[in-house]
Amino acid sequence: MSRATRARTDVIGSFCRRTAALPPATGVSQDIFSTTGTILVTGFYGLVTVATANVVLTLALDHDPDAGASDVALGTAITIQNKPVGTWYGLNPTAGGALVTTLDAAYGVALATPIALTAGDLKLTAAGGGAVGTTARIEWGVLWVPLSADGAVVAV
C-alpha cells in the first residue's frame, strides 16, 4: 500500500461498496453491510443508478447490534419516490435525523461527527403504500476506520 493510500485510509477510512440493487419491499428490512469488532463510520452514501418508481416508499437506516441490544436509528425515513439517476442519499448531520437527499455528492457523504458502531448489521427498512418496482437500483457505500483489531465492514 502506498504512503498516500495509507494516509487517506488513516484519515477518512477504508471504503466498502455494495453493488447497486433494488431497495427493499414495503415492510421489509434488508441488511446492506455487516460489521465486526468496533468501527468508526466516517461517511455513508446511497446513489441512485437506475431511477426510482412513482410509488410512495420510504427508507430508514438502522444499526442492528449483534449483542442483542435494540436497533439504533442512524437515519430516519426519507421518501425515495421519483428520484432520478444521480440522486445521493446521506446521513443527517443530526444523529438519528432523517436521511438527506441531494443531487450534490459533497453533501451527506462525509460525516461531520463520525459514529462508533459495535458488531452487527447496517440495515434498510422500507415503509409506504407502494411496490418497489423491478427497475430501481441504489448503490450504497460506507467509509470506516477500525477501532478494534477485528473491526471490519463487508457488503451483504
CB 68 within 8 A of CB 120: no
Considering just the CA atoms, what is the radius of gyration of the chain in Å? Answer: 15
CB 22 within 8 A of CB 120: no
pLDDT, tens digit only, all 156 positions of the chain: 788 777 767 777 888 999 999 888 888 899 999 999 999 998 899 999 999 888 888 899 999 999 888 999 999 888 888 899 999 998 887 778 888 888 876 665 778 889 999 999 999 998 886 666 678 899 999 999 999 999 999 999
pLDDT at 116: 94
pLDDT at 13: 84
pLDDT at 39: 96
All three cell numbers of 110, joined, read 462525509
pTM of the prediction? 0.89
Domains assigned to the chain: 3-155 (2.60.120)
Rounded Cα–Cα distance for residues 112 and 123 (Å) = 21
